[in-house]
Amino acid sequence: MGIITISREFGSGGETVARFVAEKTRFLLVNKDTINEGLTEYGIEEPSGDPEKTVTGEESEQAVREYLEAMHNYIYDLAIRNNLVILGRGGSILFRDYPPALHVRVIARFTDRVQRVMKLYDLNSETAVKLVKEKDHEKRLYYRRVFDVNWNSVREYELVLNTGTMGLEDAADIIVAAYRIHSEPREVRDGPSGPDIENGILTPSAEEEADKFMHPSEEEFAHMLDFYRIRWDYEPRTFLLEWDSEGNVVEAFSPDFYLPDQDLYIELTTQKPKQAWRKNRKIRRMKELYPEVNVRLIDKKGFESLLKKHRIEEDEGEYR
């Protein structure tokens, strides 16, 4: 899954930039409308009060919460099978823990944005100023409310583009080029069958490869999958498991491996059963929240028998 997220200031032309990027990369463009369309098929409607607007009352809080959860799950599910350009919706935060993703922020000076809005919606200067201010406020609230982050923080992004001083298609070209550079090491990492193994300077050395794994058992498991020519991704996706009352993520889970051909997530644990309860609980929770996702836990015993079965012991023959 390739991911480009584009967050934009109202009036910066970010929407058009996103459309250009999607066209140039042939990634699927995901915005508020496509998400709501998709969710409608599951019978989920966006609460009448747009979550970007202030909603009061416990009931609507609950509705908003459920909608946001469904929306986030929907985006994650889309991302499994598709390359995405995600416009807005907090995409950069949803995929913050997914290093290959490129997070872009499109901005422009206030006056430039007002100018663009005047032209685009045929408004007078006064109305345009009011609209831009309103929208900025709404977006700030949305990010605070849903993710508890400062929307204006540029540290959330790999790339910040000012469309006040460049054309929108040029901005899109820069994003596409940046994405290629940014995501290439990961393409290489996809295993021996992956492309561009000898493709020059971006290929990480074997040592660097090994460093990417959290645990030696994961590396060994990866070698075994390579041996059987089974494609895998290492920790490609984070599943959000628990939110506090304000919608901040308090628990998440990134299974170690994803096998795309099997459509299966695998979590390895070499902890003793008594210490593995936390992981077991996470997997249970994940199965509840994401029943359509296949996940399998390989525990200490299972992992040992797997390796022992497939490994020559010193001075002795193999098993079976």
Partner 1 sequence: MSDKKSYREDRLKILLTQEQIEEKITAMGKKISADYAGKELILIGVLRGSTYFLVDLTRKMSIPFAIDFISISTYGEQSDSADVVRITKDLDLSITGKHVLIVEDIVDTGLSLGYLLRNLKTRNPAGLKICTLLNVEARRIVEVPVEYRGFDLPNIFVVGYGLDYKERYRNLQFIAEFDRP
The contact set with partner 1 (CB under 8 A) reads 192, 223-230, 259, 262, 264, 266, 296, 298, 301-302, 305-306, 308-313, 316-320
Helix (H, G, I), strand (E, B) or coil at 8: strand
| CB closer to partner 1, 98 vs 221 | 221
Q: Over the Cα atoms of the chain, what is R_g?
A: 23
The one-letter amino acid code at 297 reads: L
309 CA to centre of own chain: 36
| Long-range contacts, 215-222 (Cβ 8 Å, 24+) | 215/268, 215/270, 217/268, 217/270, 217/303, 217/307, 218/256, 218/257, 218/268, 220/307, 221/256, 221/257, 221/266, 221/268, 221/298, 221/303, 221/306, 222/191, 222/257
For residue 313, the 8-state DSSP code is: P
Q: Provide CB contacts within 8 A for 10, sequence distance 6+.
A: 113, 117, 131, 132, 135, 136, 139
CB 245 to partner 1: min, Å: 39
Q: What is the smallest separation between the CB atom of 191 and partner 1, expressed in angstroms? A: 11
Q: Which residues is 28 bridged to in the sheet?
A: 84
Three-state DSSP at 148 gives coil
Min dist CB 64 to partner 1, Å, is 39
Taking the complex as a whole, the smallest distance from the CB of residue 231 to partner 1 amounts, in Å, to 11
Question: How many angstroms separate the CA atoms of 130 and 136, rounded?
Answer: 10
Q: CB-wise, 202 or 307, nearer to partner 1?
A: 307
For residues 119 and 223, which CB has a smaller minimum distance to partner 1 in the complex? 223
Smallest separation, CB 31 to partner 1 (Å):
36
Give the shortest CB-266-to-partner 1 separation in angstroms: 7
- Considering beta carbons, is residue 177 or 210 the nearer one to partner 1? 210
Q: Output the smallest distance, CB 188 to partner 1, in A.
A: 15
* Shorter beta-carbon distance to partner 1: residue 180 or 309: 309
Answer yes or no: are the C-beta atoms of 156 and 103 closer than 8 Å: yes
In whole angstroms, the minimum distance from the beta carbon of 311 to partner 1 comes to 4
Instruction: Tell me which amino acid residue 307 is.
Output: L
Task: Decide whether 215 or 229 has the Cβ nearer to partner 1.
Answer: 229
Is 63:47 a contact under the CB 8 Å cutoff? yes
Toward partner 1, which CB reaches closer, 133 or 309? Answer: 309
Shorter beta-carbon distance to partner 1: residue 77 or 226:
226
Structure tokens at 293: 């996702």
The least CB distance from residue 304 to partner 1, in Å, is 9
How far is C-alpha 1 from the chain's CA centre?
9
Compute the distance between CA of residue 68 and CA of residue 86 in angstroms, rounded to an integer: 15
Of the two residues 53 and 310, which places its CB atom closer to partner 1 in the complex? Answer: 310
CA 242 to CA 36: how far, in whole Å? 23
